Structure 1
Amino acid sequence: MGPSTFLALALVALPSGDAAGEPGRHWAFQPVHEPATPQVREAEWCSTPIDRFILKGLESKDLRPSAEADRRTLIRRLHFDLLGLPPTWEEVQAFVQDIAPDAYARLVDRLLASPHYGERWGRHWLDVARYADTKGYVFFEDAEYPWAWTYRDYVIESLNQDLPYDRFILEQLAADQLEPRSLPALRALGFLTLGGRFMNNQQDILDDRIDAVSRGLLGLTVSCARCHDHKYDPILTRDYYSLYGVFANAVEPTIPPLYFDPPQTEAYQAFAKELKAREQKLADFVRTKREQVMSGARTRAAEYLLAAHALESQPSTEEFMLIADGSDLNPRMIRRWQSFLLRTRRNHHPVMAPWHEFARLPEAQIAERVGEVLAELIRPSVERPLNPLIVQTLASQPIRKLEDVARCYGEVFKTVDSAWQAGAAQGASRLQDPSQEEIRQVLYGPDAPANVALLPQGNLDLLPDRPAQEELKKLLKAVEEWRAKGAGAPPRAMALEDVAQPIEQRVFIRGNPGNLGELAPRRFLPILAGQDSPLFTKGSGRLELARAIASPSNPLTARVIVNRLWLHHFGAGLVSTPGDFGLRSDPPSHPELLDYLAAQFMANGWSLKQLHRQILLSATYRQSSRDRPDCRAVDPENRLLWRMNRRPLDFESPRDSLLAVSGRLKHEIGGPSVRHPFLASANRRTLYTYLDRMNVPSLFRTFDFPSPDATSPQRDTTVVAPQALFLMNNDFVSQSAERLLERAEIRRARGVEPRVESVYQLILARLPSEAEVSLALGFLGSEPTEQQWKRYVHALLMSNESATVD
């Protein structure tokens, strides 16, 4: 393949038309305007405005829509689309026999009101939210998210309650900042916090959150601008780091909050008592060790000053050299002194200014210039006077090298520390001598390098020895495990909170956090909000970002969610790339329909159920899926929707159907995740399966379950041999056949043919045809054994009809 071939491939990938020269003219970046419904020749076919847009496209190609599907097909299609479960024989018969004009509409409303609707569509959203119950690889840290399921339950509840989609967005990005404050809504923040932890690499964690928000909510691949300006879309690296700054200024609280007031039961009181005892044991240990760490940092201040000075010429990646050189100083504490010196160098600090003046001199010049340095420092013109205790000590001691300066500081610090210890013992809150109090602040003040917290665990290496570190880890684990899994422990929300003092983010040049570029103030994407979009000024900016995303003036949000619903109802979106509406995306198959639905969606209060209803009541949705060669010759991919697409069921629906038809399905909504979904005792919906990022079962991948390592706007769809092999050989399927044969409906049937009819009614919700009865009798004979029945039922459970929806 020569250079010309590579050039040709590159040109194919580039945007074309108006968008290539003026990205702002790209269709997805234009405001949503509701178009007029088109005029069509066969208007009598149309049940809703949706049908007019579809029919216009068909008539432009001289095509006609397909006939309406039969009633059994329609109720089965609706059940799987809205609930992810098959209808029963009784439900099918009731619908088939209901001849009222509004029978279909009433069926749609009944299914939308079912609590199982939230489970079905919650699973679709969890793909977007990259839901899992674990963090991925995090070294020796506990990898489990004990409360991930609370986010999953929030999603189910929100969808069942038809929470407006704009509010759904606000809560998932900034529930902690909304007024009035809602404790249950705190669970929504799991959308941000339950992503992978990428070996605790903070930059990757934040990148994952940006990706979930941008692709999941906006249909834009913003993360492509992490290391350079986006190659195709009008998104600069600065835009990426504007969003990075939003999420970098929000942290997870040390103790996740409760999202309800726990009832004061005996079990909870026992839990709280044990938790308090464990926390007290941890607090006692931390208090003792913290005092040891801080005392060492103060008494050895001279050594730490010299070490911090020596470290200034070393990059942070060489911190291990501090350990390798034989010193028993703590590397983390050296870094803290270094940071303190950096802060005090920026102004004329009354205590540290002399140190900085001597530290900047070459070692050989210190002895000869000591008088000059001190004279310069104490000149009346200097804005802030020096601490007299430091000056007097330096003036009274022979100063030949920087070690002598450090020794002087150490002597003064020890003298003041002793005075403070004596005063504190008598209840003093500060030293009376202003000069001493000034130095005490260097040792004990809020910004003092020796004033450290051992928690969270990021400061474990401040402890002086490995046994102490291991003991602290042990005590922390005891508290965290009991808080999460102790008997009577209330569940908590995987929440976020803003930092006290937000910082402005700088661009990481080429994605390198050690190579800082220009400031990137927190703001929304200019391509959507305009080049003069306001900066975010309230805390981290999460709430302002959420409002910008959920704004009716945002051209993407409504289009993206409308397209996602259309995708799950028809098997293909109006836009073929649901996670990328950027310049490289294909244009919508029906752009006016997409805008009509987006405008209607917002006008109807961002109601997802109302949007479902609009789509499901259309004649377009009710079409038969039968093939028509003449139409296929014109539109082989059915982009014009001359028929309904026949679709394979997703991974969850076949397993849930096996549980349902065998009478084993437990209809309980919500609760902690369940491990081992294919054990005989597992009777909850697949939605509730415990999902380990590091160990996603191969079976899940075989059936196209999406990776939870990143947001998944659309699942792959494959039909491969291992799927059939699983259905043929897995114990779960054979056990389902056994349990189905134990159902009362089967036991009551007398004779082979009536029993075959009962099996068809339970599995396929229909009666068998004469040919199917004949085939069954040929296999079973007149007196079939239980093993023959089991094989026969097993074959029906793995039939193509069971695995697809027409």
Structure 2
Amino acid sequence: MIARLTIVSLGITAVLCQTSCDQEAAASEKASSSESPSTGAISQNSLPEEIDFNIHVRPILSDTCFHCHGPDSKNQKGDFALHTFADATKELVNAKGKYGIVPGKPEESEIIARVFSEDEEEIMPPADSIHKLSSEQKEILKRWVKQGAKYKKHWAFIPPEKQVPEKKSDWAKDELDLFIAAKHKEHGLQHSPEASPEVWLRRTTLSLTGLQPTPEELKAFLQDKSPEAKEKVVDRLLNSPRYGEHMAVAWMEAARYADTDGYQNDHERQNWPWRDYVIKAFNENKGFDQFTIEQLAGDMLPNATHEQIIATAFNRNHRQNAEGGALAEEFIIENILDRVDTVGTIYFGLTMSCARCHDHKYDPLSQKEVFQFSSYFNNINEAATARGTSARPTTTSLSLYASEESQQIYKKVQTLNAELNKVRGQQRGLLAKVDPKLKGKALNDKAENTQPVKELKQQINQLNNKIKANGDANYASVMIMREAEGITPTYLLERGQYTDPDKSEELTRTVPAALLGDEPAPKDRLELAKWIVSDKNPITARVIVNRIWMHHFGTGIVSTPEDFGSQAPFPTHPKLLDYLAVEFRQSGWDMKALHKRIVLSATYGQSSKLTAELLEKDSTNKWLARGPRFRLSGYALRDQALHAAGLLTEKLGGPSVKPYQPDGLWNSMSHSPNIRYRPSTGDALYRRSLYTYWKRAVNPPRQSIFDGSGREICSVTQNRTNTPLQALVLMNDVTFLEAAKKVAERSLLDTATNHQQKLKSIYTHITGYDADQEELNILSDTFDYFNELYTADPESAKSILTQGASQISESADKAKLAAYTAVAHVVLNTDESINIE
């Protein structure tokens, strides 16, 4: 390992080596690949011998032609379309006797004449278009037409088939490695050496749990020389409760989970029991098919359990507008189309919202099909302009992690609440007979003071106190799905406007034909959910395994996880993607098994070191000739700091909490005056980041700065940017200063270790690595500098040691503790700490 620690002359700071070679190379490759269009001839030998429509032609047509000559039938220029063979080869409307494409005859094909034309009035794309064709792209189109202009169904809509390459690699540990090895050979690459054991352990531990390995785990792994050593580690991590918490983060961002309704007033809501459901599902390794069915239609399952009903909050995590001027007719449509967009993105990888106002410009999705699909989510009799806590349909719930005793008590409370409502009605009726003048609030108040009502309320309060005594949360009012009887009529909305339904045709429920094929349309939401995870659906398994691959490698096999449509890049390893999709389905949609295969593969286990050869041949690691390397998310950065410090609270589930954030942030940015953010106290202050209270109007600043989604709409893409603000967070945020203090305190108070061992302990607790001698020398120099500084300036030492709510030992030498804190803070800001490598 190469030391990357640097001492800074003043203050507690560190060099933030956040720009990896991969990211620099990506920018370089992007710049160098931006070819300006050329009309010069190119070598015919440089073209693919056999032109494939999906690989070579569709990307060109989609990027430069489909906007004007694609699936959007109402906006096709010149009544000419190129997205199907039939449209492209028919006689042109405005040029009798001419055809856009004459298969086998490029010299008679109008599109070839147009793309090669030098006449500004004739050339396509038009001279004033931002889209231009390169010389190579023109020649590809010409050769494609000459070879018969064969069209293919978009690759993502063709059912995946499992093809396994012949075993020709001693390097491969799993069949998936054979696909990677084949690409290495095709592109003249060699796989990288195996990563060192400590690098693999940290990479895998962070990938599966979001936390770094402890010194004890590192020592045990390095001492285990058995062939099963890595597999034992993976099994341990997959069985850790931390696995479910880590995996839940991406699902929460995809499902746009938040603790407030959004919009201007941004009222609080209580859908957090759904988060409990997600964590439990991942930890219990619920089959992804069942996980999907329960979230999309758990309320419609026979004898649906409480958990299955809570699961349906997935489709009620959308924003909810309860402002005074909000119109229910408008926002019921917004909520329904949000569900369409979320399901379309998560399960189909399609931008269905693009077809709200007109047919999709690039993909075979008509506006009518999108509104037909919306009919599955338009039948719950929802209150579209109520606050989330009362936006029917709702149900009440304890934390799904509440004790069994509390759950049983909770059932009794529910029964008593139903009885209480009944008795209240009876008492109001009796009182009204005795005194007909009693009405409204006076009648209700008197009924509340009758003995039967008071006795029931007392029983309920006693039971609630028992639940609180067990340490379990109070009730939450959760927004859920509940199917109404019959079918609510659905109409196409002209230009997507709720005020302009086309009532000439009531739409029937169906799935877009490009996905459904010849299968009968699902009749209701439950049938839809089952179809989504059936073998009849060609796309969902691909989309999900691609996101899991992205989770481990930083980039998916399809680099646009949100878009598998015509605008998406072709998969780097299409046969591998199909293989994994089929295997995933055949495994029973086993999530843990898929994670295990990937992290135990030779591909994942490579060193991530970037050599000069790899920089030249594959700067972005497109062909995976080295291991993954990318910056941790804001969630993981905070969690690993707390974990290193021994501060992390490992309680599962329950309501959201409020960690540190800058004072006055809510008040300065919120619509409501005098709104205050009150940080949690005690153990709640140190819970994992997925439990952080998410206010849509003012997102948690740490997560926003580190590219967290805004949680207003579905997001399945993990952005990774570099900004000075990120460095400032790591260097100045109270969380990281406090974590450094507690890491330092543990090492300082360990009387069995000498100075060098204390430095080593600090380094290992934070990074999960053993420090080499060069790194220890740098840390020692850093300590000496700050020890002298804080010995001479006790007030500065006090300032750093009072960061955060946690207290320090009175017996600790304050100057030394402050100096060790400075060392720990430096390590928290190093490249090794903030990246998976």
Q: TM-score, normalised by structure 1?
A: 0.70
CA offset digits 1:170-189 (Å, max 9, x no partner):
11110011135222111110
1:224 aligns with 354
**2:647, 2:686 within 8 Å by CA — same for their partners in 1?**
yes
2:204 aligns with 78
Distance in 1, matches of 2:409 and 2:779, equals 59
1:234 to 358, 364, 367: 364
CA 1:777–1:131 in 2, change beyond 3 Å: closer, same or farther? same
Q: Note if 1:691 corresponds to 2:722.
A: no
1:27 aligns with 155
Q: Note if 1:52 corresponds to 2:35.
A: no
**Displacement after TM superposition at 1:221 (Å):** 1.0
**Displacement after TM superposition at 1:651 (Å):** 0.8
Q: SS where residue 694 of structure 1 aligns?
A: coil
CA 1:44–1:511 in 2, change beyond 3 Å: closer, same or farther? same
Q: Can you give the 5+ residue segments of structure 1 that lack an aligned partner in the other structure? A: 290-464, 472-478
Distance in 2, matches of 1:670 and 1:743, equals 28
1:7 aligns with 129
CA offset digits 1:24-75 (Å, max 9, x no partner):
71100101111132453xx111111111100100101111100000000011
Q: Note if 1:534 corresponds to 2:517.
A: no
1:524 to 511, 522, 527: 511
**1:138, 1:197 within 8 Å by CA — same for their partners in 2?**
no
**Displacement after TM superposition at 1:90 (Å):** 1.0
Distance in 2, matches of 1:697 and 1:116, equals 22
1:108 aligns with 234
Q: Note if 1:186 corresponds to 2:309.
A: yes
What are the residue-to-residue correspondences of 1:291-310 with 2, within 5 Å?
none
1:606 to 589, 592, 607: 589
Number of residue pairs the alignment of both structures matches: 608
**Displacement after TM superposition at 1:276 (Å):** 7.0
**2:743, 2:821 within 8 Å by CA — same for their partners in 1?**
no
Distance in 2, matches of 1:11 and 1:288, equals 83
What are the residue-to-residue correspondences of 1:476-515 with 2, within 5 Å?
489-491=474-476, 493-515=478-500
2:757 to 751, 754, 778: 754
**Displacement after TM superposition at 1:275 (Å):** 8.8
- The structure with the largest helix share of the pair is 1
Distance in 1, matches of 2:762 and 2:745, equals 11
**Displacement after TM superposition at 1:112 (Å):** 1.1
2:42 aligns with none
What are the residue-to-residue correspondences of 1:159-558 with 2, within 5 Å?
159-198=282-321, 201-252=331-382, 253-256=392-395, 258=397, 489-491=474-476, 493-517=478-502, 518-530=505-517, 533-537=519-523, 541-558=524-541
Distance in 2, matches of 1:745 and 1:99, equals 33
Distance in 1, matches of 2:690 and 2:572, equals 32
1:707 to 706, 710, 713: 710
**Displacement after TM superposition at 1:736 (Å):** 1.4
Distance in 1, matches of 2:818 and 2:357, equals 62
CA offset digits 1:497-519 (Å, max 9, x no partner):
11222133111111123322233
Q: Note if 1:670 corresponds to 2:670.
A: no
CA offset digits 1:772-802 (Å, max 9, x no partner):
2322332333976232222222111222211
Distance in 1, matches of 2:607 and 2:687, equals 33
Larger deviation, residues 245-254 vs 227-236: 245-254
**Displacement after TM superposition at 1:756 (Å):** 1.3
1:88 aligns with 214
1:144 aligns with 268
CA offset digits 1:330-349 (Å, max 9, x no partner):
xxxxxxxxxxxxxxxxxxxx
2:46 aligns with none
2:802 aligns with none
**Displacement after TM superposition at 1:654 (Å):** 1.1
Using the aligned pairs only, state the percent identity.
33
Q: SS where residue 609 of structure 1 aligns?
A: helix
Distance in 2, matches of 1:512 and 1:642, equals 50
**1:504, 1:522 within 8 Å by CA — same for their partners in 2?**
no
Instruction: Give the aligned residue type for 1:510.
Output: R
CA offset digits 1:721-754 (Å, max 9, x no partner):
1111112122222111222222267432554323
**Displacement after TM superposition at 1:677 (Å):** 4.8
Distance in 1, matches of 2:132 and 2:655, equals 48
**Displacement after TM superposition at 1:625 (Å):** 0.2
Distance in 2, matches of 1:612 and 1:638, equals 20
CA offset digits 1:280-306 (Å, max 9, x no partner):
7799999999xxxxxxxxxxxxxxxxx
Instruction: Give the aligned residue type for 1:98.
Output: D
Distance in 2, matches of 1:732 and 1:283, equals 55
Please say which structure displays the higher CA radius of gyration: 1
**Displacement after TM superposition at 1:758 (Å):** 2.1
**1:195, 1:205 within 8 Å by CA — same for their partners in 2?**
yes
Distance in 2, matches of 1:11 and 1:287, equals 83
1:769 aligns with 772
CA 1:777–1:277 in 2, change beyond 3 Å: closer, same or farther? same
**Displacement after TM superposition at 1:630 (Å):** 1.0
Distance in 2, matches of 1:65 and 1:183, equals 50
Instruction: Give the aligned residue type for 1:803.
Output: I
1:64 aligns with 190
**2:747, 2:762 within 8 Å by CA — same for their partners in 1?**
no
1:790 aligns with 821
Q: Can you give the 5+ residue segments of structure 2 that lack an aligned partner in the other structure? A: 1-119, 383-391, 433-439, 446-456, 468-473, 662-678, 789-814
**1:214, 1:221 within 8 Å by CA — same for their partners in 2?**
yes
Q: SS where residue 639 of structure 2 aligns?
A: helix
Distance in 2, matches of 1:499 and 1:274, equals 24
CA 1:535–1:790 in 2, change beyond 3 Å: closer, same or farther? closer
Q: SS where residue 256 of structure 1 aligns?
A: strand
Distance in 1, matches of 2:231 and 2:408, equals 46
**1:746, 1:758 within 8 Å by CA — same for their partners in 2?**
no
Q: SS where residue 772 of structure 1 aligns?
A: helix
Distance in 1, matches of 2:157 and 2:408, equals 55
Q: SS where residue 45 of structure 1 aligns?
A: coil
Larger deviation, residues 794-803 vs 195-204: 195-204
Q: SS where residue 492 of structure 2 aligns?
A: strand
Distance in 2, matches of 1:587 and 1:574, equals 9
**Displacement after TM superposition at 1:770 (Å):** 2.1
Distance in 2, matches of 1:283 and 1:138, equals 41
**1:145, 1:194 within 8 Å by CA — same for their partners in 2?**
no
**Displacement after TM superposition at 1:100 (Å):** 0.4
Distance in 1, matches of 2:416 and 2:178, equals 66
CA 1:586–1:646 in 2, change beyond 3 Å: closer, same or farther? same
Q: TM-score, normalised by structure 2?
A: 0.67
CA offset digits 1:212-253 (Å, max 9, x no partner):
100011111111111111111101111111112111112354
2:91 aligns with none
1:735 to 738, 753, 758: 738
Distance in 2, matches of 1:781 and 1:190, equals 55
Q: Note if 1:592 corresponds to 2:575.
A: yes
Distance in 1, matches of 2:593 and 2:724, equals 39
Instruction: Give the aligned residue type for 2:767.
Output: L
**1:780, 1:789 within 8 Å by CA — same for their partners in 2?**
yes
